[in-house]
Structure 1
Amino acid sequence: MQNIDFAQLADLSPFELKDTLIELAQAKPDRPLLDAGRGNPNFLAVNPRRAFLRLGDFSMQEAERAYAYLDAGFGGIPDTDGIVGRFDTFVQESGQQPGVQFLQKAVSYAKDRLGIEKADFLSELVNAFLGCNYPVPPRMLTHMESVVKAYLAEEMYGDMPIAHDFDVFATEGGTASMTYSFQTMFKNGLLKKGDKIALITPIFTPYLEIPGLSEFELEIVELRLDEETWQLPQSEINKLADTDIKLLCVVNPANPASVKMSDECLDALAELVNTQRQDLFIITDDVYGTFADNFVSLFAKLPYNTLCVYSFSKYFGATGWRLGSIAIQHNNVFDDAIQAMNEEQQQRLDERYKTLTENPREIRFIDRIVAESRSVALNHTAGLSLPQQVQMGLFALSCLMDTQGEYKAACKRIIRERHNTLYKNLGVALEHDANRVDYYTLLELDVLGRKLYGQAFVDWFKDANKGKDFLFRLAANTGVVLLPGKGFDVVHGSVRVSLANLTHYEYALIGRETRKMLDGYFAEFQAAQ
């Protein structure tokens, strides 16, 4: 293995460190690259994509009707009058093509379950697919928002009573949702430099890195998950009683641990916030919630306090589509905190938003996020591109119409089978945990070492600082690329394995190759005795 200056790599995000690891893994071209670092899934939802393509066929027919007498490739904005009849004809003529029946069912579902007239729904779909108008409303198309609201309500509430009194902003992926939320909180004085925010750690690396940026300079208070159960002890939850903590950021199910909050943990958090911290802002990032059994979001448990970030990227295999959302309840702490500001603060915000309305104090927080996504002055051109909103809506409809839950069951099954295969080939028995999701798994080197070789080996491994180059040796010697748990603020020496992006066979290889590496360390340990 080539000499590596670890000091130069110390400050790198794990997502940037992976490039060095991939370079090492590819040093032997005749060996397969087993990159289980980044969590881009290698599975995707087919039916809503086929529906998108067939919608394109119908939309083009509609556009071509307007200027059919011209031969210069002209089309026009489709006419709503008669669109249902023309769609029915399209279905009769093209019904055998994959995706057409999906569209027919979607139009029927929207009418029967969401109360959207067929002509209105088809007109919005067709015009949005063509992308011939600006996004209006800029926050999200009216009917696409209704669809996505129904989907989020279905997925975020578990067995709790479902509420629909919230709004959605369609964004360019979950990362944009994060960026816009932090920016808007600062611009509106809900956060300021030097404020304390709480993070439930270990956590997705950008949540650790964003607060330290020069434009934010926030102080982080860590609420540390127990690294055996991956749940929050009551002692950590009690830290939120500190009224100097303005914001709590949560990734649930956790990344990298891939374990959802237990009912007991959710109840304990809710109890503290409802009794002591009704002023607390909460951002919950629930991108992996759809892989969990009976998932309940803090958005459902603490609706007044919580802004929900959800990305369609993982569940639908759509990282390249950049489809995300922000959801906020109508009655929420963000709006109330702004309304409670003193007159000087209100006048400052009046000045910022005066070009949007004659009554800037009536602009809700979610609409301020929309405005800030385009630096306020370009609010009139805000909004996710309309074809992206269409695909988002079709993704949501595919699950809403899947009454037997076949797609969800298949998603869960594929990652859990990979999880079991990995550990079987590592030679490690697994304990059941009903809250485990398995999109990722953490290989904790001291836990593995203790199970396989005993505590004396673990002590030697730590004392000899062998964990420092474990990932690099693994990549160079076996072609396996994993990410360091330290990059997500995991305390114990560990590596994160994505269970979403390789084949079943390749996870078996990763298990065997990782075990060989550990066996090699054990041989070193024995020789040193």
Structure 2
Amino acid sequence: MLDRKFYDSISDLSPFEIKDELIKLARTNAEKSAKAFLNAGRGNPNWTATRAREAFFLLGQFAVTEAKRTSFDPKAGVAGMPARDGAHQRFQKWIKKQLQAASDWDEEDEGELPAKTLSDAVEYAIRTFNFEPDAFVHELTDSMIGDNYPVPDRALHHNEIITHEYLMWAMCAGHRPKAKFDLYPVEGGTAAMCYIFKALKNARLLNAGDTIALGTPIFTPYLEMPQLEDYALKTINVSAEQEDRFQFTDEDIKALENPEVKALFLVNPGNPSAVALDPDSIKRIVDLVNNKRPDLIVLTDDVYGTFVPGFQSLLGHLPRNTIGVYSYSKYFGCTGWRLGVIAVAQDNIFDEKIKAHPEPVQQLLEKRYKALTPTPREIKFIDRIVADSRDVALNHTAGLSLPQQMMMSLFGLVELMDVEKAYQKACIAICTKRFWNLIEGMGVESNPGIYFDHYYGIIDFEFWLRKYVGEDVVAWVKENIHPLDIPFRLAEDYGIVLLNGSGFDAPNWSARVSFANLNDDAYTQIGSAVRSVARGYVQAYRAAKGIPIS
């Protein structure tokens, strides 16, 4: 064991900062031994969605031909800007040539032709959403070239329609609402969090000293951001316990009846619990809002929803109260693309709350946004998020880059065309196999249930020691072992990086494992190492108590 003083000195750090020290120890172990360095501390998936990417890069080639068609100086390498009129017809002719050129493609070995994927996606969008063909193809080509600022700045017209339909599947497949949502594509879930916190503050919907509830365990930044002086919010934790299969009980929800609790922030499915809210938990929250707290603000971060078939987001059940956050990063293996989206229903409580502010607050907000419109009091909350993301003064250059929005469109279209959900099933199968490899390596039994997304897992040493060894061992471990000893021992002795669960307000004697970023066999090794660490604690207990070690 490392020194307890060292553990105490870093116990307040984010697990993502502690990770750096763990990586150093794990790499040192790997260099000194024959063991592999295994970093399961980060949720970056090690798979990528190919079809949408192939279509994207092919679309880029067509976009350049469109720019050259307008004007082109080959010596200088200067072209014009893609034209709108006739764009769809030119696209069809160009695609036909691409398909003819690839007639010798072996589809059995290589998969679907990129040209066919792109053509199918374009025609599917035109047919499904009744797009004007030239206008849609021009949005695709002009956006791929990236020669304009985003117009409209909040979301491109066609991309918003496509993304809306994708979100209804990704976040509300099990319960689609009648509500329509305004969307703001942003630079990943990270940017979405920052922009929302900032906009809630600037709109005076959350003020310094206000209380918000966090559904814990939860992604660490949701624990840390409210404490910043920028926001100075008070927090209470509404804890979903492992004993309750990480679901909220009536007693848990009761804390939200207090009108001083202004908002509830959730990650659903959980990070690190990896469990989606079941119908009972959803009903408890819905009943609370409908019957006792119609004023409650709900933020739901649903990035892992696509790993639970038929997933139900609170966005679908409580559209008026809910701000939705979604990131494409995990499902499509595109963390480097920085693709996310904020969703706010067109009929919502946020606009109502802003209009209900007292006159002194109205005047402050009017002064803040007066450069944007002659009627700043009429600006919708979603558009305030956009403006605040650029400190208002740069609102005229707001918006996610156009190539990024096109990548979103293609990811969404390819997924919507996949009626058999082959891609979703494949991604779920990857994580599920790794989960069971870990369980086999640990030598325990598990029944995670149908709401478990298999993306992360909490290895709760206290829970497993209590189940397999007994309360006496648990009590001794809690008295004599620092919780951070678990990830540090795994790193120092086995070259394995897991994050400390306490950093997510998960049980203190736990570690978070990601099933997304290592090869399948690695999880058997991790499970075996976890079992060895637990066995070491049991042996230390027996030695301390004078019990013979068998």
Task: Pick the TM interval, shorter chain.
Answer: over 0.9
Which position in structure 2 is the counterpart of 1:22? Answer: 23
Instruction: Work out which of the residue numbers 129, 132, 140 in structure 2 matches 1:117.
Output: 132
Provide, for residues 243-299 of structure 1, a one-character-per-residue CA deviation record: whole Å limited to 9, x for no partner: 111111011011110000110110111001111111111110000111112111000
Which position in structure 2 is the counterpart of 1:240? Answer: 256
Query: Is the alpha carbon distance of 1:15 and 1:468 closer, same or farther for their aligned partners in structure 2, counting shifts above 3 Å?
Result: closer
Shift of 1:238: 1.3
Shift of 1:367: 0.4
Distance 1:263 1:317 in 2: 29
Q: Superposition pairs for residues 52-131 of structure 1, below 5 Å?
A: 52-68=56-72, 70-95=74-99, 96=102, 98-131=113-146
Distance 1:275 1:175 in 2: 33
Instruction: Work out which of the residue numbers 33, 36, 46 in structure 1 matches 2:37.
Output: 33
Amino acid at match of 2:7: F
Amino acid at match of 2:272: P
Which position in structure 2 is the counterpart of 1:327? Answer: 343
Shift of 1:453: 3.1
Moved more, 367-376 or 429-438: 429-438
Instruction: Work out which of the residue numbers 42, 46, 50 in structure 2 matches 1:46.
Output: 50
Distance 2:326 2:10 in 1: 31
Are the equivalent residues in 1 in contact too, given 2:320–2:345 (CA < 8 A)?
yes
Are the equivalent residues in 2 in contact too, given 1:226–1:233 (CA < 8 A)?
no
Distance 2:38 2:78 in 1: 49
Instruction: Work out which of the residue numbers 176, 180, 196 in structure 2 matches 1:181.
Output: 196
Are the equivalent residues in 2 in contact too, given 1:418–1:507 (CA < 8 A)?
yes
Moved more, 82-91 or 503-512: 82-91
Distance 1:522 1:461 in 2: 8
Which position in structure 1 is the counterpart of 2:332? Answer: 316
2:367 pairs with 1:366: no
Distance 1:457 1:124 in 2: 64
Shift of 1:343: 2.0
Shift of 1:135: 0.5
Residue aligned with 2:242, SS: coil
Provide, for residues 465-519 of structure 1, a one-character-per-residue CA deviation record: whole Å limited to 9, x for no partner: 2534121111011001101110001234111100110011111111112212222
Distance 2:254 2:403 in 1: 45
Distance 2:249 2:506 in 1: 16
Amino acid at match of 1:90: W
Residue aligned with 1:428, SS: coil
Are the equivalent residues in 2 in contact too, given 1:110–1:117 (CA < 8 A)?
no
Distance 2:12 2:236 in 1: 20
2:277 pairs with 1:268: no
Shift of 1:70: 4.9
Structure-2-length-normalised TM-score? 0.94
Distance 1:382 1:305 in 2: 25
Residue aligned with 2:78, SS: coil
Shift of 1:82: 1.9
Which position in structure 1 is the counterpart of 2:109? Answer: none
Instruction: Work out which of the residue numbers 306, 321, 326 in structure 2 matches 1:305.
Output: 321
Residue aligned with 1:415, SS: helix
Are the equivalent residues in 2 in contact too, given 1:428–1:451 (CA < 8 A)?
no
2:161 pairs with 1:146: yes
Residue aligned with 2:72, SS: coil
Which position in structure 2 is the counterpart of 1:168? Answer: 183
- Aligned residues: percent identity? 44
Distance 2:466 2:255 in 1: 32
Distance 2:428 2:211 in 1: 37
Distance 1:169 1:417 in 2: 35
Are the equivalent residues in 2 in contact too, given 1:21–1:472 (CA < 8 A)?
yes
Which residues of structure 2 form unaligned runs of 5+? 106-112
Moved more, 91-100 or 370-379: 91-100
Amino acid at match of 2:318: L
2:286 pairs with 1:285: no
Distance 2:537 2:11 in 1: 23
Distance 2:539 2:359 in 1: 71
Moved more, 23-32 or 481-490: 23-32
Distance 1:393 1:350 in 2: 35
Distance 1:122 1:294 in 2: 32
Residue aligned with 1:121, SS: helix
Structure-1-length-normalised TM-score? 0.97
Distance 1:81 1:422 in 2: 57
Amino acid at match of 1:119: D
Provide, for residues 346-379 of structure 1, a one-character-per-residue CA deviation record: whole Å limited to 9, x for no partner: 1221111111111111110000100001000100
Instruction: Work out which of the residue numbers 207, 216, 227 in structure 1 matches 2:231.
Output: 216
Distance 1:197 1:68 in 2: 57
Instruction: Work out which of the residue numbers 485, 489, 512 in structure 2 matches 1:496.
Output: 512
Q: Superposition pairs for residues 449-460 of structure 1, below 5 Å?
A: 449-460=465-476
Are the equivalent residues in 2 in contact too, given 1:153–1:163 (CA < 8 A)?
no
Amino acid at match of 2:189: G
Shift of 1:2: 6.9
Which residues of structure 1 form unaligned runs of 5+? none
Q: Superposition pairs for residues 470-509 of structure 1, below 5 Å?
A: 470-509=486-525
Are the equivalent residues in 2 in contact too, given 1:154–1:162 (CA < 8 A)?
no
Shift of 1:463: 2.5
Are the equivalent residues in 2 in contact too, given 1:461–1:467 (CA < 8 A)?
no
Query: Is the alpha carbon distance of 1:254 and 1:69 closer, same or farther for their aligned partners in structure 2, counting shifts above 3 Å?
Result: closer
Query: Is the alpha carbon distance of 1:70 and 1:200 closer, same or farther for their aligned partners in structure 2, counting shifts above 3 Å?
Result: same
Distance 2:55 2:179 in 1: 26
Shift of 1:103: 1.1
Q: Superposition pairs for residues 422-441 of structure 1, below 5 Å?
A: 422-441=438-457
Q: Superposition pairs for residues 399-414 of structure 1, below 5 Å?
A: 399-414=415-430
Provide, for residues 134-176 of structure 1, a one-character-per-residue CA deviation record: whole Å limited to 9, x for no partner: 0001101100111100000112223324435111000011111
